[in-house]
Structure 1
């Protein structure tokens, strides 16, 4: 199993956000997570991505448990096994498009220039490699973020509202690419979205409500 969350519980003060959440994801699967604003979707995704601690339960990524890892171990998991795509893009403003795309793959020591070239071509970024994030449209920045997440061929891709800052047409085009490229790379995709229409495109869908998951 690529990603396995077992009975995850998370509270902030007296407020329970996740109340015994379990889910699993394997390579090649796509899973959409929906829920109302404030339901804990992003918190769950961040826990799955070794970005946020949990109170009880266990998270396994490629069979490796997160609960026994310190900050360095979690950072290694993120570097080697996870591609992250955020709503706010989170590109590095001082790096051009080419360097932003290659950034995580180089950190992980898995830069594949042929694969990166294919990504750049498919993402329609060939004419923008020397530009900086501030010179790009929102849709172009999200394409760069997808390229960065996939350049190192991570087994697990996590996307947090990847079209939240885009208009519908641009968002649809970005999602077309995200689904296509994760399938090409053989990754598993867990996506948080507020859109039932986008969620319906995933192979599986789960809804988070009152801290628990339903089909």
Structure 2
């Protein structure tokens, strides 16, 4: 599903060059859920952004299925995010002017893979049936996160990337959301790579990898 080989990334400041990733190797299999842990500043979010094509690596290779992400042009990376990836971040990033129903269907429709039966299953499993006509500002944080997860999974992505997706939720709600995500990922057959600082949440997933000083420890 996902293969990352010898990935490097540095950032230059006025005084220095900081090596964030120094040769990262990582794989995620179809249907597998992987927790990515590490100290603040260890490069976890940078790695997710590179896999999502939101930034460019200095060297190394990222392969998703049959597509080599490293080397793609901006428009090709945008198409990859639309067609192959689901993204869930701590800030939800719902579209304020769209209802819950339209937010849920947004990515699957622009990807040309809207599946009403699958979306209805997501709505039921995520407990969103009574909220479909509401707008994001009318939802709690936990409800918004459920919508964001549903939107990301509605297009049946090959890989779901999640960066601290439960960071704004209380512990009980976070646990409930993570159980749902794990089950839905297994149900859809996509892979999951999730950044988390929580040992408790990391233990819920199939496997954990730890990023330290720019390398997978």
TM-score norm. by structure 2 comes to: 0.96
Determine which of 40, 44, 58 is the counterpart of 2:43: 40
How far apart, in 1, do the equivalents of 2:124 and 2:206 lie?
26
Name the counterpart of 1:160: 163
How far apart, in 2, do the equivalents of 1:117 and 1:182 lie?
16
Matched, 1:27 2:30: yes
Name the counterpart of 2:66: 63
How far apart, in 2, do the equivalents of 1:58 and 1:133 lie?
37
Name the counterpart of 2:202: 199
The total of aligned residue pairs comes to 213
Name the counterpart of 1:188: 191
Give yes or no for contact 2:7–2:22 (8 Å, CA) kept in 1: yes
Give yes or no for contact 2:103–2:147 (8 Å, CA) kept in 1: yes
Equivalence map 1:1-215=2 (5 Å):
2-13=1-12, 14-214=17-217
TM-score norm. by structure 1 comes to: 0.97
Offset at 1:39?
1.1
Structure 1: runs of 5+ lacking an equivalent:
none
CA offsets per residue over residues 128-171 of structure 1, 9 Å max, x none? 00111010000000000000000011111111101111110111
How far apart, in 1, do the equivalents of 2:136 and 2:57 lie?
33
SS of alignment partner, residue 174 of structure 2: helix
